Chain A
Amino acid sequence: MKISQKIISNLKSGGADFFLSVPCKLLANMIIILEKDKDIYYSAIPREEEGMGICAGAYLGNKLPCIMMQNTGIGNSVNAIVSLLQLYQMPVVFLISYRGTPGEPVGAQGGMASVTEDILNTLRIPMLHCNTEEDLDKISTFANHAKVIESPVAILCNFNLMKDD
């Protein structure tokens, strides 16, 4: 819970005030925290691509949106990222549980893990890797950076960081 608390707190201090998630067991504690938080908007949604659209609308209405998802969600969202968020220059924070990184028990997660960073690089989306608790201190500045550069940014939380939280 300590790691999840720190992540949410740093996202909020970076300006994020509108949260969506497509659940992942590594995000479960963050979802519990967000569901109790009256200062921000939070909802679960069925699909990441749709979430990119909802985030775009929330940004038009002056929110800094954060969508929480597995890295597989990037694969579901590529056109929405390029033809909506990047075309209109809209800041959105992607908080990604990086399934398929070392510690992962599910072999099938390895495929998307092996291409996730290549996809994000191809999309020119800045990445922050969180492998240790100290890395979490960079989240606040990184979330605010999305607003400064008017672009999506991606925070990748690896499996071992989250698994015992």
Chain B
Amino acid sequence: MNRFELLNLLQNTIQDELVICNIGLPSQELYKINDRPNYFYMLGSMGLASSIGLGLSLAVDKNVISIDGDGSVLMNMNTLATIGNRAPSNYTLLIVDNGSYGSTGDQKTFTNEHTSLKNVAIGAGCNNVIECSGEETNENLRKAIADKNNSYVIISKIKSGNVPIKPLPLNAVTIRDRFRKEIGLVNYL
């Protein structure tokens, strides 16, 4: 299973949740599969999808899912410590771990060698850290969303590989405003 197939598989689970999606191909693939206003596509700032989701989950009661990648988490690994100490129960971090920098040409990341993001997350203080296959991800994500008392970190181990895709046609402020409208904060759209 590659990322596109995984995101497709998750559609029924995430379509009504507030989703912060990682830069580059993950966002472009999610957009192509099923664009929704409750999906916040992060266009720049590699590494920060997990942090944006954390900040949002601290500000609202709704469920928030950050879809991040192994390369991006490696770039901002300190945020796992913040998540381990501060994440509220409405927060779930889904790390799509395909062992590669997909958007830049599938160069290998360190999760292909000695680094285990599961062990890093546990060491950083995260509770409910689940490492699973792509096929098992949907079930675990549903469990995380349904659990009103705990935050989760799910590491989905999948194959690298991307589908040919175009850059997003949406501009940043459009993404911002339609997303905030979903939370009830914009009344002019």
Contact = CB atoms under 8 A, between A and B. Distances in A.
A binds B: yes
Nearest to B61: A61
Interface in B41-87: 42-45, 47-60, 64, 76, 78-79, 81-82, 86
Nearest to A57: B55
Contacts of A60: 40, 52, 55-56, 59, 176, 179-180, 183
A20 to B, nearest CB: 9
A59 B57 CA distance: 11
Interface residues of A, number: 31
Nearest to A81: B45
A88 B55 contact: no
Interface of A is mostly: helix
Interface string A61-89: 11101000000000000011011100111
A53 B48 contact: yes
Contacts of B175: 88
B44 A79 contact: yes
B173 interface: yes
A50 interface: yes
Nearest to B52: A57
A40 to B, nearest CB: 11
A60 B48 CA distance: 14
A49 B51 CA distance: 10
Interface string B117-161: 000000000000000000000000000000000000000000000
Given A57-B51, A58-B55, A84 B82 contact: no
A61 B49 CA distance: 15
B20 interface: yes
A80 B48 contact: yes
B185 interface: yes
B45 A41 contact: no
The winner among A61, A62, A65 for most chain B CB atoms within 10 A is A61
Contacts of B47: 49, 53
Contacts of B163: none
B78 to A, nearest CB: 4
A56 B52 contact: yes
A57 B135 CA distance: 29
A148 to B, nearest CB: 16
A46 B59 contact: no
Contacts of B59: 18, 41, 57-58, 60-63
A34 to B, nearest CB: 14
The winner among A47, A59, A84, A88 for most chain B CB atoms within 10 A is A88
Interface of A: 18, 41, 43, 45-47, 49-63, 65, 79-80, 82-84, 87-90
13 contacts: A18-B55, A52-B51, A53-B47, A53-B48, A55-B55, A58-B56, A60-B179, A61-B59, A62-B59, A62-B183, A62-B185, A83-B43, A84-B42
